[in-house]
Amino acid sequence: MSFHGEPRVAFSATSIEAVRGILSTSHVFLNKPVDERDLWRVYRKAYAGEPFMRIVKESSGVYRYPEPKILSGTNYCDVGFELDERSGRVVVLAALDNLMKGAAGQAVQSFNIRFGFTRDNRAGVRGPAPDLKHRDTHPTGAKRVLVIKIGGSKGVDMDRFLADVPNVHEPMVLVHGANAELNQVSEQLGHPARMVTSSTGQVSRYTDRRTMEIFMMVYCGKVNKTIVERLQGLGVNAVGLSALDGKIARGRRKQRIRVIEEESRACWRAITPAASRRLTPTCCTSCSTRDTYRC
């Protein structure tokens, strides 16, 4: 890589579907041939002592490169790269939450350095949380139930999130994903994820019966019950459910391809009474359509 004189770097910004976060794509032109192992050595050496820098480069899965939306509320900056040997360049990607790493988190790091604390001292730093002080009841007078979604992507700090749950004193329902774990288990079982792209560009997981069995094993079993176990250990009386139970949620399937498009109807009446009785329903997103296919 060229470190002498002015480097030839092409920069572009990428639009993403998020209200916060930054994703940058830079093109660095090489002055001599390198291979991927050389690049790994450069990145590992550069960020070896940086607690908030992570190298994200996967060979498979949904999130193979840095993704801003999974960094919301964190102080991490994720970087990744791809070598283009044909054109002699490296495409470098970096993602961060501009309100945390780009602002509040950076301020806390500067404070820590100024007063002799470690840079990763996170005392007093918390991620985004709903405002629970206002409008805690519905206009009809019914008690509101807080619904919180925990992502299942790689890089989500589940332990840190769950440690905050006992501090919420409102009735709540936790809805979680498990996409990263699903991809890993699917690979191990010899049935890797198959993705399909619709005519509008929407990428979805193709779900045959074998995929659904693995889906239920991971979402409804391992991940759901692990979250319940951890919450119980924190003093939160959690109960594990899936969206299949009691027809909590139903999906709508596209007619041309067997892909669940979205969760079109959620029957929260099945679980909100439990939330009001000091139970915390913990629900995964496995739901059904009117036929035998499920997402």
Number of domains the chain is built from:
2
Q: Give the whole-number percent of the chain exceeding pLDDT 70.
A: 68
- Please say which residue of 106, 128, 150 terminates a domain: 128
Does residue 281 or residue 231 have the better pLDDT? Answer: 231
Instruction: Average the pLDDT over 39-63 and give the result.
Output: 85
pLDDT of the residue at 74: 83
What residue numbers bound the domain in which 268 lies?
130-284
* H helical segments located in the chain: 36-47, 105-114, 158-164, 179-188, 209-215, 224-233, 272-276
Residue 38 pLDDT level (bands cut at 50, 70, 90): very high
> Does a structural domain hold residue 293?
no
Q: For residue 79, what are the β-bridge partners? A: 55, 94
Cβ-contact 176, 283 below 8 angstroms? yes
pLDDT of the residue at 194: 87
- Please say which residue of 67, 98, 128 terminates a domain: 128
Question: Which pair of tokens denotes residue 77?
Answer: 């900056």
- Please say which residue of 128, 159, 190 terminates a domain: 128
- Highest mean pLDDT: which of 105-109, 162-166, 243-247, 268-272? 162-166
pLDDT of the residue at 78: 92
Instruction: Average the pLDDT over 181-186 and give the result.
Output: 92
Least reliable range by pLDDT among 84-88, 179-183, 220-224: 84-88
- Say if residue 218's pLDDT is above 90: yes
